[in-house]
A and B are shown apart, each in its own frame.
Chain A
Amino acid sequence: MIQPATIQRLDINAIRRQFPILNREVKDKPLVYFDNAATTQKPQVVIDALVNYYSEYNANIHRGIHTLAEEATAAFEATRDTVQQFINAATREQIIFTKGTTEGINLVAQTWGRQNIKAGDEIIISTMEHHSNIVPWHILCEEKGALLKVIPINERGELLLDEFQKLLSNKTRLVSIVHVSNALGTINPVKKIIDEAHSVGAIVLVDGAQSSVHIDIDVQDMDCDFFAFSSHKLYGPTGVGVLYGKQDLLEAMPVYQGGGEMIKEVYFDKIIYNDLPYKFEAGTPNIADTIAFKAALDFMSQIGKEKIRNHENELLAYATTELEQIPGLKIIGKAQEKVSLVSFIIDKLHPQDLGILLDNEAIAVRTGHHCAQPLMNCFGIPGTVRASFAVYNTKEEIDALINGLHKSIKMLS
């Protein structure tokens, strides 16, 4: 238990001032941004890092010998070091830059997967996966004649670990599991899952798209084999992500895409590939956004992830209590361990209608199936309304959501 007295309060107004977009109005009303699980807004330091790069030292990286190229390379590689610390990877070579979580998962499916998965092998995912942690494995299984097995969940939206144990066998090659559900907020016990998967010789990929902004990530302690996440959900720019992998796995894996950067020597009849991490980074990378990603990670570290989490958990508790008082409202996803997002439905009302009317009140929520159709089917609903909170959100904004919902319900009923 956290003692209230020990919680150091964040100056949320000071934090809000660092996000220029929070000053804008929608339909003459102040914006309330509760779609943070889709993407977070960006602090001024991130925007400045992008502008500075393009105004001061834009250059292609790694091979240029001029000053600008050296500065750009140093800034780009500095992000790799910061990411290494952020997830406590053993070496910087294990940090591979991607476009985002989706590309990270596809990279593993297309390299490790194609090399290691054979007919009759089994891959385990869960009911609460995002489409990006279903489709790459479905494609791979179709190609190889392998089987996709799915861990079921209970009505609170928690994985049934007993069922997971039953699915594990000597045929299991890979468990690819979401750390935090984007639609429910459930925090999955990945460490336990990883231990059990390892006991049958399977490897584990953790989809960290939603967890990395809320939870302290220590890939060595977790002992995951792969961990993928995206910059834009951590206050950073879109178009950058990270794939972490265990060194021996990454070294044994075949290359992903061919091109510049990922080679050492090229002959028409023979190619010597580059070392990690460059082996997986073909072509000119997303230099500007990768550099600015460091500013986002520094922004989070300066505030402190624990303080951010405490604030977000307060918002979650407040929103949950207030929402539950609305007649006919049902929260979907009531796991014991949850991050700061609430998914809900209201009796007889379509989530999309609620979303449109909340937008009319300048409240940005996400409605729909949240790219998790099998999960929605499991609950027997077409979708939910999802409000997800970030460090800059306030209780007053939750009050605005509650008022907006009351008004929407009145209009729709």
Chain B
Amino acid sequence: MDEHPNIKDIEKEIADEFSLFDNWDDKYEYIIDLGKKLPPLEDQYKKEENKVRGCQSTVWLVADYRDGRIFYKAESDSVIVKGLISMLVRVLSGQPPEEIINTRLEFIREIGMMTHLAQTRSNGLLAMVKQMKNYALAYKLKNEGVQK
């Protein structure tokens, strides 16, 4: 098994990166930059069943299970949401299902982006986190079923 850093360590890395910014403009510029750099999702995945419906932006999310770990790919039509997605994928992709299910994603609060997870923002991020956890749960149950 490869030496993939655990969720807590990646979260700390991101929080450390954000601690360099002392204003909101810089934080958003960084997130926008992450969004622009997020590799586009191949068109074949951009279909109805992969859509995570937020109120305003569209998010597509796919998950793949390999060697006891889940790998995510995602995209959005909003560049800021793409930036937030980029961080979520960085933290959660390549982790075991159990870890993904139980994480509280504390880094989002630490970097001051908690409002984007609030219901009121309706920007799809909350729905996306739920969907990522749902995939993890589904793979975990499937895996347990196979083992039985």
What residues make up the interface of A, taking CB atoms closer than 8 Å to B? 27, 350-353, 355-357, 360, 367-369, 382-383, 411-412
Q: Which residues of A contact B55 (CB under 8 A)?
A: 368
Q: Which residues of B contact A411 (CB under 8 A)?
A: 25, 28-29, 32
For the complex, what is the distance from the CA of A351 to the CA of B29, rounded to whole Å?
Answer: 17
Which chain B residues numbered 70 to 99 have a C-beta less than 8 Å away from chain A?
77-81
Is A350 a contact partner of B24 (Cβ separation < 8 A)? no
B105-148 vs A, Cβ < 8 Å mask (1 yes, 0 no): 00000000000000000110000000000000000000000000
Which residue, of A27, A356, A360, A383, has the highest number of chain B Cβ atoms within 10 A? A356
For the complex, what is the distance from the CA of A355 to the CA of B123, rounded to whole Å?
Answer: 11
Given A350-B57, A411-B28, 12 further pairs, Cβ under 8 A: A27-B24, A350-B77, A351-B56, A352-B57, A353-B80, A356-B28, A356-B80, A368-B122, A382-B56, A382-B58, A411-B25, A411-B29
For the complex, what is the distance from the CA of A368 to the CA of B121, rounded to whole Å?
Answer: 11
For the complex, what is the distance from the CA of A412 to the CA of B82, rounded to whole Å?
Answer: 12
For the complex, what is the distance from the CA of A413 to the CA of B24, rounded to whole Å?
Answer: 18
Is B79 a contact partner of A382 (Cβ separation < 8 A)? no
Cβ of B76 to closest chain A Cβ, rounded Å: 8
Is B32 a contact partner of A352 (Cβ separation < 8 A)? no
Q: Which residues of A contact B123 (CB under 8 A)?
A: 352, 356
For the complex, what is the distance from the CA of A132 to the CA of B25, rounded to whole Å?
Answer: 37
Q: Which residues of B contact A353 (CB under 8 A)?
A: 32, 78-81
Contact pick for A352, options B25, B28, B81, CB 8 Å: B81
For the complex, what is the distance from the CA of A357 to the CA of B123, rounded to whole Å?
Answer: 14
Q: Which residues of B contact A412 (CB under 8 A)?
A: 32, 79
Q: Which residues of B contact A355 (CB under 8 A)?
A: 56
28 chain-A/chain-B pairs, Cβ below 8 angstroms: A350-B57, A350-B78, A351-B56, A352-B56, A352-B57, A352-B123, A353-B32, A353-B79, A353-B80, A353-B81, A355-B56, A356-B28, A356-B80, A356-B123, A357-B28, A357-B80, A360-B24, A360-B28, A367-B56, A368-B55, A369-B56, A382-B56, A382-B77, A383-B56, A411-B25, A411-B28, A411-B29, A412-B79
Contact pick for B78, options A27, A352, A360, A369, CB 8 Å: A352
Cβ of A411 to closest chain B Cβ, rounded Å: 6
For the complex, what is the distance from the CA of A90 to the CA of B134, rounded to whole Å?
Answer: 58
Q: Which residues of B contact A383 (CB under 8 A)?
A: 56
Nearest chain-A residue to B76 (Cβ)?
A: A350
B8-37 vs A, Cβ < 8 Å mask (1 yes, 0 no): 000000000000000011001100100000
Q: Which residues of A contact B80 (CB under 8 A)?
A: 352-353, 356-357
Given contacts A368-B55, A368-B56, contact A350 B28 (CB under 8 A): no
Cβ of A144 to closest chain B Cβ, rounded Å: 30
For the complex, what is the distance from the CA of A367 to the CA of B17, rounded to whole Å?
Answer: 30
Cβ of A29 to closest chain B Cβ, rounded Å: 10
Q: Which residues of A contact B79 (CB under 8 A)?
A: 350, 353, 412
Q: Which residues of B contact A27 (CB under 8 A)?
A: 24
Cβ of B3 to closest chain A Cβ, rounded Å: 36
Q: Which residues of B contact A382 (CB under 8 A)?
A: 56-58, 77
Cβ of B77 to closest chain A Cβ, rounded Å: 6
Q: Which residues of A contact B24 (CB under 8 A)?
A: 27, 360
For the complex, what is the distance from the CA of A383 to the CA of B58, rounded to whole Å?
Answer: 12
For the complex, what is the distance from the CA of A226 to the CA of B5, rounded to whole Å?
Answer: 64
Nearest chain-B residue to A349 (Cβ)?
A: B79
Q: Which residues of A contact B57 (CB under 8 A)?
A: 350, 352, 382
Cβ of B136 to closest chain A Cβ, rounded Å: 27
Nearest chain-B residue to A368 (Cβ)?
A: B56
Nearest chain-B residue to A359 (Cβ)?
A: B115
Cβ of A131 to closest chain B Cβ, rounded Å: 12
Q: Which residues of A contact B32 (CB under 8 A)?
A: 353, 411-412
For the complex, what is the distance from the CA of A383 to the CA of B124, rounded to whole Å?
Answer: 15
Q: Which residues of A contact B56 (CB under 8 A)?
A: 351-352, 355, 367-369, 382-383
For the complex, what is the distance from the CA of A412 to the CA of B81, rounded to whole Å?
Answer: 12
Cβ of B60 to closest chain A Cβ, rounded Å: 14
Cβ of A371 to closest chain B Cβ, rounded Å: 10
For the complex, what is the distance from the CA of A383 to the CA of B28, rounded to whole Å?
Answer: 22
Nearest chain-A residue to B57 (Cβ)?
A: A352
Q: Which residues of B contact A367 (CB under 8 A)?
A: 56
Nearest chain-B residue to A355 (Cβ)?
A: B56
Cβ of A132 to closest chain B Cβ, rounded Å: 16
For the complex, what is the distance from the CA of A382 to the CA of B54, rounded to whole Å?
Answer: 12
Cβ of B121 to closest chain A Cβ, rounded Å: 8
Nearest chain-B residue to A408 (Cβ)?
A: B28
For the complex, what is the distance from the CA of A353 to the CA of B116, rounded to whole Å?
Answer: 12
For the complex, what is the distance from the CA of A367 to the CA of B29, rounded to whole Å?
Answer: 20
Q: Which residues of A contact B25 (CB under 8 A)?
A: 360, 411
Cβ of B115 to closest chain A Cβ, rounded Å: 9
Cβ of A295 to closest chain B Cβ, rounded Å: 28
Nearest chain-A residue to B122 (Cβ)?
A: A368
Cβ of B21 to closest chain A Cβ, rounded Å: 13
